């Protein structure tokens, strides 16, 4: 599905987005019948409250509550909260907000139109919005469609989103923007020295693979790496049923970087972009890798497997080592890594790690403007000892689980030694219940913040 604004229409219904404080004066300024109607309806401007006023031709005008500063702080995409309840029609937004706030609300409207309808028709939102004036509507549509791509990739179950399907999706994205794509599959992974990707994926029927997209001739070099575990059973350290239920989303990092790459290419950011996705299924079979195995990674480091369920850091290790070999200006990885991150910050905040304080602030500031919340976590070097088991260079699952998100990030950082800057996002990738502009299901995190922050981060 394509998310887009409606074409300009002279018969559009005026739609007022009103702060609670503006409502009394606004009501007084209306004609007598509308004033009486708004009062009779008890319209107060609370977030998501919708008012539609009748006229000779149907709806004469509509209003959506924008709440108060205090109530807005409890959520985001306030126009979207009401948009879903507006009757079918074409609406033209009127409000007193600054342009960057209008952009966020307009984006929220588009994102509220997203439906995962591959397997069942879903009721479409009947209300359509004409692109508000003064904002870059084409850019917002590109952002919304990158996000929709991430959502659909995550929502599609492993039966239709195994490693070959993820490869097909990556090929579609590459083809859309004339990017190059190379995929290394199955036994070739061993021949070309991606031992960890091969080992994690070897018990599955679908062969493991490493997807490598490149795009752009000039500009700073940016490499995105996304965890593409198309289903995570936990391997021989099998997950209990309840923990396995949602593991189709364990390619959420891959979905996020593909969505971000889509935004970068669609908006024509002047960078040399590379996207690396190790795509595997962490499955169970007689040839599955075992707890206690010691593997040698592409980088030469040995890794003791203490839990086959800590597989994401293994496949990312080989992909990060490859990313590091050509020393781009910046490497960013994204992954649904340890449950520890979810315990620490919940599903709504995307924890991220980076050593450089300026890069961290660029992301934090962009996140606030884009309504894409992130939280900086520390690469706390004193915990390096926790990932050193003694009989190998690294331990993939330190016992005790102290600082589980930090130790996973430290593990990944060991594979980036030649590149000046490395940033890692530990995302949840799933919206647990319906929220404005975020229907229950797959969701990208950090991508909109990164799109906005990248020009500053890369010195563009």
Select from 232, 281, 304, 395 the one that contacts Zn ion (CB under 5 A). 232
Q: Which parts of 56-136 fold into alpha helices (H)?
A: 69-72, 78-83, 99-112
Provide, rounded to whole angstroms, the least separation between the CB of residue 308 and Zn ion.
Answer: 8
Question: 165-171 long-range contacts, Cβ below 8 Å, gap at least 24?
Answer: 165/230, 166/211, 166/228, 166/230, 166/251, 166/254, 166/277, 166/279, 167/209, 167/211, 167/279, 169/258, 170/211, 170/213, 170/258, 170/275, 170/277
**Under rule CB under 5 A, how many of the chain's residues touch Zn ion?**
6
Residue 426 binding partner per list ligand BES, Zn ion, none, with a CB distance cut-off of 5 to 8 Å that depends on partner kind: none
Provide, rounded to whole angstroms, the least separation between the CB of residue 386 and ligand BES.
Answer: 11
105 contacts Zn ion (rule: CB under 5 A): no
Residue with Cβ nearer Zn ion (162 or 312): 312
Query: From CA 194, how far away is CA 298, in angstroms rounded?
Result: 6
Rg of the chain over all Cα atoms, to the nearest angstrom: 24
Residue 339 binding partner per list ligand BES, Zn ion, none, with a CB distance cut-off of 5 to 8 Å that depends on partner kind: ligand BES
Residue with Cβ nearer ligand BES (48 or 162): 162
Residue with Cβ nearer ligand BES (342 or 376): 342
Residue 50 binding partner per list ligand BES, Zn ion, none, with a CB distance cut-off of 5 to 8 Å that depends on partner kind: none
Residue nearest to ligand BES (CB): 339
Provide, rounded to whole angstroms, the least separation between the CB of residue 211 and Zn ion.
Answer: 17
Residues binding ligand BES (CB under 6 A)? 232, 250, 307, 309-312, 336-340, 342, 397, 404, 428
Tokens of 171: 């090929």
Residue 170 binding partner per list ligand BES, Zn ion, none, with a CB distance cut-off of 5 to 8 Å that depends on partner kind: none
426 contacts Zn ion (rule: CB under 5 A): no
312 contacts Zn ion (rule: CB under 5 A): yes
Residue with Cβ nearer Zn ion (189 or 316): 316
C-beta neighbour count of 317 within 10 angstroms: 28
Residue 338 binding partner per list Zn ion, ligand BES, none, with a CB distance cut-off of 5 to 8 Å that depends on partner kind: ligand BES
> Pairing relation of β-strands 50-55 and 58-67?
antiparallel
Provide, rounded to whole angstroms, the least separation between the CB of residue 162 and ligand BES.
Answer: 16
Residue with Cβ nearer ligand BES (80 or 397): 397
- If you write DSSP's letter for every residue of 142-205 in order, what string do you get? HHHHHHHHHHHHHHS-TTTSSHHHHHHHHHHHHHHTT-EEEEEETHHHHHTT-HHHHHHHTTSS
Q: Which of 313, 413, 414, 438 is catalytic?
A: 313
Provide, rounded to whole angstroms, the least separation between the CB of residue 135 and Zn ion.
Answer: 38
Residue with Cβ nearer ligand BES (75 or 339): 339
Chain-centroid distance, C-alpha 63? 31
Query: From CA 345, how far away is CA 348, in angstroms rounded?
Result: 7
Query: From CA 149, how far away is CA 118, in angstroms rounded?
Result: 13
Provide, rounded to whole angstroms, the least separation between the CB of residue 431 and ligand BES.
Answer: 13
229 contacts Zn ion (rule: CB under 5 A): yes
Segment interacting with Zn ion (CB under 5 A) among 47-55, 104-112, 287-295, 303-311 = 303-311
- The 3 state secondary structure assigned to 193-237 is CCHHHHHHHCCCCCCCEEEEEEECCCCCEEEEEECEEEEECCCCC
Residue 345 binding partner per list Zn ion, ligand BES, none, with a CB distance cut-off of 5 to 8 Å that depends on partner kind: none
Residue with Cβ nearer Zn ion (220 or 235): 235
Burial code of 347-381, b = ≥16 C-beta within 10 A, e = fewer? Answer: bbbbbbbbeeeebbebbbebbeebbbbbeebebee
Q: Which of 139, 239, 342, 376 is catalytic?
A: 239
Query: From CA 412, how far away is CA 338, in angstroms rounded?
Result: 12
Select from 103, 141, 304, 309 the one that contacts Zn ion (CB under 5 A). 309
Provide, rounded to whole angstroms, the least separation between the CB of residue 398 and ligand BES.
Answer: 7
Tokens of 1: 């599905």
Closest CA to 452 of 376, 371, 369, 366: 366
Residue 182 bears catalytic tag: no
Query: From CA 361, how far away is CA 457, in angstroms rounded?
Result: 10
Residue with Cβ nearer ligand BES (83 or 350): 350
Phi–psi pair at 170, nearest 5 degrees: -65, -40
Residue 249 bears catalytic tag: no
Provide, rounded to whole angstroms, the least separation between the CB of residue 401 and ligand BES.
Answer: 6
The residues binding Zn ion (CB under 5 A) are: 229, 232, 250, 309, 311-312
Catalytic residue IDs = 239, 313
């Amino acid at each position: 599905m394509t998310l887009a604004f409606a074409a300009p229409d002279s018969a559009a219904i005026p739609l007022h987005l009103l702060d609670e404080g503006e409502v009394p004066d606004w009501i007084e300024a209306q004609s007598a019948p509308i004033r009486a109607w708004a009062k009779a309806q008890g319209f107060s401007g609370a977030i998501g409250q919708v008012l539609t006023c009748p006229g000779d031709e149907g709806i004469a005008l509509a209003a959506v509550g924008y709440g108060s500063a205090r109530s807005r702080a409890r959520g985001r995409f306030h126009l979207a909260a009401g948009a879903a309840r507006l009757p079918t029609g074409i609406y033209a937004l009127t409000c007193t907000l600054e342009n960057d706030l209008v952009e966020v609300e307009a984006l929220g409207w588009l994102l509220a139109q997203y439906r995962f309808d591959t397997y069942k028709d879903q009721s479409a939102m009947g209300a359509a919005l004409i692109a508000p004036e003064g904002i870059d509507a084409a850019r917002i549509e590109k952002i919304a469609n990158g996000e929709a791509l991430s959502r659909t990739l995550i929502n599609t179950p492993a039966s239709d989103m195994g490693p070959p399907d993820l490869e097909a999706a990556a090929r579609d994205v590459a083809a859309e923007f004339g990017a190059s794509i190379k995929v290394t599959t199955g036994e070739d992974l061993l021949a070309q020295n991606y031992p960890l990707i091969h080992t994690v994926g070897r018990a599955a029927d679908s062969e493991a693979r490493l997807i490598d997209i490149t795009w752009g001739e000039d500009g700073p070099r940016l490499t995105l790496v996304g965890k593409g575990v198309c289903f995570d059973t936990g391997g021989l350290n099998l997950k209990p049923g309840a923990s396995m239920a949602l593991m189709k989303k364990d390619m959420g990092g891959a979905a996020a970087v593909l969505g971000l790459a889509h935004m970068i290419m669609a908006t024509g950011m002047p960078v040399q972009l590379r996207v690396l996705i190790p795509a595997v299924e962490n499955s169970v079979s007689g040839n599955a890798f075992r707890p206690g195995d010691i593997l040698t990674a592409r980088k030469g480091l040995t890794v003791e497997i203490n839990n086959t369920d800590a597989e994401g850091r293994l496949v990312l290790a080989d992909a990060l080592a490859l990313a590091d070999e050509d020393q781009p200006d910046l490497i960013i990885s994204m992954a649904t890594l340890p449950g520890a991150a979810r315990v620490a910050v919940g599903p709504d905040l995307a924890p991220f790690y980076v050593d450089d304080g300026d890069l961290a602030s660029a992301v934090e500031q962009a996140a606030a403007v884009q309504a894409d919340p992130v939280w900086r976590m520390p690469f706390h070097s004193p915990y390096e000892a926790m990932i050193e088991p003694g009989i190998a260079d690294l331990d993939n699952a330190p016992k005790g689980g102290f600082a589980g998100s930090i130790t996973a990030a430290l593990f990944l950082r060991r594979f980036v030694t030649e590149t000046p800057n490395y940033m890692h996002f530990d995302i949840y990738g799933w919206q647990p219940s319906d929220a404005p502009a975020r229907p229950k299901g797959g969701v990208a995190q950090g991508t909109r913040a990164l799109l906005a922050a990248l020009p500053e981060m890369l010195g563009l």
